[in-house]
Structure 1
Amino acid sequence: MVKVVVCGAAGGIGQPLSLLLKQSDLISHLALYDIVNAAGVAADLSHINTASKVTGHVGKEALAEALKDAHTVVIPAGVPRRPGMTRDDLFKVNAGIVRDLAQECAENCPRAFILVISNPVNSTVPIVCEVLKKANVFDPRRVFGVTTLDVVRSSRFVHEVKPQFEPQTNRITVVGGHSGATIVPILSQIKQVSFTPEEIKSLTHRIQFGGDEVVKAKDGAGSATLSMASAGARFTNTLLEASVRGTRGLVESTYVHLRGNPGAEWNARSTGLDYFAQDVELGLEGVANVLRLPDLSEEEQSLVKTAISELKGNITKGCNFVNDGTTPSAKL
C-alpha cells in the first residue's frame, strides 16, 4: 500500500494538489488532513473514478491517524503570502505549523518521505530536519523542499520569449533556494536557444520574483496556488515513480540537506551551506545522488554568491527556531 498524506489539504494549494494526486495510479490511499474542511474535500474527491481510497482527517486529534503508515507526507499547510507580506512575516506564522507537523511525522511515520511546500521553504526545510534530528529519526535522503515551481516557471517564461523552446519537454536547472534572489535559473546551459544579455537579465528577474506577479494579480486574495499545486504534484509523482516503481534516472531540482546525502559533498564544500537546491537524482530511498552544480556563467556565479549569502541567514533562522525553543506551538 502506498499512502500519501496531504497536510493542509483544504487550503488553496492543498485542494488542487489533492485533486491532482487522486489521478495517480501509484497512490492506493490518499489521506487528507487539515484543521477544518478536510472531510468535505475527501468526500468530494472520493467520487472520482480512480482506484485510490480517500480519507479525511480533521483537527489535531486526527493527525496521528492520518500519518500512520504514510509512505509520503506532503506539507502545503500554512498561510499564503499576501501583498506587502515579507518572507519574515510568513515565517512567523508558518514556522510553528511546520515544526509541529514534523514532530507528528517523527512520532507516527518516521520513515516517510517529507515534501515541504510551506513557505518560506529556505527556513521550513531546516525546521523539519532539526525536529527529526532531535527525535533521532533524521534521514537526509527523505526530506525535500519542493522548488519545482521555479523550474516550471523557468520553462514557461523562456517559452514566452523563445516560442521554439518546448516548455513541457525541456527542463531548466534552478539552484539556490526558493525565494527572490536565492532562486538562480541556469539559463546559460540551455542549448536549444540563445539569449541576449538583456533577455537573460529580464528572464532571471522574472523567474526570481514570479510569485509577486500572482500576489499582485490576485489583489490580496492569495498567492500562487494552482501553479504551485501542479508543481507539487509533479515532484510528488516523480518521487513515487522512483521510490515505488524503481524507475531510474529521474532528476528534479529540489532543496535538500547536503551533508550525508550521496554525491552532495562537492556542493557542500563549494557553497559552504548545509542546505541548497540543485538537480537531484531520485531513487528507492529518496535522494539517490545529488548532482554537481553545472558550469556557471560569470553572471550566474555572482547570483549564486548572492543566494548563498541570503541562504545562510534563512537556514540559521530555521535551525534556531527549533533549537532555541522560544516560540509557542502553533495550532494545527
Structure 2
Amino acid sequence: MRRAKITVIGAGNVGATCAHWCAAAELGDIVLLDIPQTEDMPRGKALDLMQASPIMGFDSNIVGTTSYADTADSDVIVVTAGIPRKPGMSRDDLLNTNAKIITSVGEQIKATSPNAVVIVVSNPLDAMVQQMWKVTGFDKAKVCGQAGVLDTARYRTFLAMELGVSVEDISALLMGGHGDTMVPIPSCTSVGGIPVTQLIDRARLDEIVERTRKGGAEIVSLLKTGSAYYAPAAACAQMVEAVVRDKKRVIPVAALCESEYGVGGYYVGVPVVMGSGGVEKIIELDLTDSEKADFQNSVDAVKGLVATMDQLLSS
C-alpha cells in the first residue's frame, strides 16, 4: 500500500510548518512547492526537514520543488500561497492580489492532480476557496477551506486560559466567515461536558469571543513582520489527517453550502464530517434566533467579499 501524497503549495512559514506537522505524524510523502523566483528555497527546507527524520523517528519522503510536475497525482493539496497580512491590514486587503494567485494555482492543480482533495488556507479565506472551486471545477466535496479548525482552537485556548483547565476538555464550535463576523455557538461549547455558560458569565464570554475574532490580528501586531503560522499549520495537518486516514472527523471547515442553512451556493464555515472523500457531509444545526441572525450577517459579509472579488477579476 503506497503512502498518501501530500502537496503543500507555498513554502513560507505556514506551508513549511504544515509540512513539518504532516511529516512528524507520518501522514504521507510530502511535496513542498513554491514559485520559481524562490529558486532553491523549497528544496532547502525539504532537505532540512528530511534530515530531522532520523532524530525524530519519522519516515516520510519530502521533496522541495518549483515545478508542478512534481506534484502530479497528489491525494491532498494544501494551498497556502499568497501574500500574508502585515500590521494594519485586514484579510480583505489581500483580496485582489491573492485572488489572482489562487486562480493561477487552481489551474495548475486542475491539470496535474484532478482527483485531489484541496484545502485552501490563503486569505481572505472564504473568497479564496470559492475561487479555487470555481477555477478547478472539482466536486464541491473535494474543495474546502481551513479556518474553522483554527478559529475553534483559538477559542478553546482562550477558554482554557480563563478557566485554568486543560484544552483537551474544551469542546467548542465557531461558524460563519473567517474574520470579524465569525459566529460562536454557545450551545455547542462545553468544558468536560459542562455547558460553558454555567462556568463563565455571558459578558466575559463575549469578551473571549471578541478576542478569538481578532486572534490573527493580535498575533500580527505582536510579530510585527508576519502573521500566525504554528496554529494555522497544525489546523491544516489535522484536516490532512482526516482525509488520508479517513478519520470521519466532525470539524468546522469552509464548505460549499447550497440548500444547507439557506446559504445558496457560497463557502462558509460550518460543521462537517471530513474523511477520504473530503467534505462528506455538512451537519445542519438547529440554531437559536440570535445565532441565526449572526450567521446570516456573516454569510452576507462573505457574499459581499465574493462579489467584490469577481468584480476585481473581471476588470
TM-score (norm 1): 0.84
State the partner residue of 1:53. Answer: 61
Out of 196, 202, 215, the position equivalent to 1:197 is 202
Aligned residues of 1:17 and 1:230 also touching (Cα < 8 A): yes
How far is 1:272 from its partner? 4.0
State the partner residue of 2:164. Answer: 163
Identity of aligned residues (%): 26
State the partner residue of 2:136. Answer: 132
Quickly say closer, same or farther: Cα 1:225–1:125, change in 2 above 3 A: same
1:211 matches 2:202: no
Aligned residues of 1:81 and 1:215 also touching (Cα < 8 A): yes
State the partner residue of 1:7. Answer: 9
Supply the distance in 2 between the matched residues of 1:215 and 1:317 (Cα, whole angstroms).
25
Aligned residues of 1:145 and 1:255 also touching (Cα < 8 A): yes
**Which ranges in structure 2 are unaligned for 5 or more consecutive residues?**
none
Aligned residues of 1:130 and 1:319 also touching (Cα < 8 A): no
Supply the distance in 1 between the matched residues of 2:107 and 2:21 (Cα, whole angstroms).
27
State the partner residue of 2:273. Answer: 281
Counterpart of 2:24 in 1: which secondary structure? coil
State the partner residue of 2:245. Answer: 241
Equivalent residue pairs, number: 298
**Which ranges in structure 1 are unaligned for 5 or more consecutive residues?**
260-264, 327-332
- Superposition misfits of 4+ residues, deviation over 6 angstroms: none
Supply the distance in 1 between the matched residues of 2:309 and 2:119 (Cα, whole angstroms).
16
Supply the distance in 1 between the matched residues of 2:236 and 2:299 (Cα, whole angstroms).
24
Quickly say closer, same or farther: Cα 1:40–1:70, change in 2 above 3 A: same
Out of 300, 308, 313, the position equivalent to 1:317 is 308
Report the AA paired with residue 274 of structure 1: Y
Counterpart of 1:115 in 2: which secondary structure? strand
Aligned residues of 2:127 and 2:267 also touching (Cα < 8 A): no
TM-score (norm 2): 0.89
Supply the distance in 2 between the matched residues of 1:126 and 1:320 (Cα, whole angstroms).
14
1:222 matches 2:214: no
Aligned residues of 2:176 and 2:268 also touching (Cα < 8 A): yes
How far is 1:266 from its partner? 3.2
Aligned residues of 1:76 and 1:117 also touching (Cα < 8 A): yes
Supply the distance in 2 between the matched residues of 1:226 and 1:283 (Cα, whole angstroms).
23
Quickly say closer, same or farther: Cα 1:283–1:200, change in 2 above 3 A: same
Counterpart of 2:285 in 1: which secondary structure? coil
State the partner residue of 1:305. Answer: 296
Aligned residues of 2:5 and 2:74 also touching (Cα < 8 A): yes
Supply the distance in 2 between the matched residues of 1:197 and 1:229 (Cα, whole angstroms).
31
How far is 1:300 from its partner? 2.8
State the partner residue of 1:24. Answer: 25
Counterpart of 1:46 in 2: which secondary structure? helix
Give me the CA root mean square deviation.
1.8
1:140-151 equivalence runs, <5 A = 140-147=140-147, 148-151=149-152
Supply the distance in 2 between the matched residues of 1:273 and 1:308 (Cα, whole angstroms).
11
How far is 1:318 from its partner? 4.0
1:160-185 superposed Cα distances (whole Å, 9 cap, x missing partner): 22224x3235331111011112x112
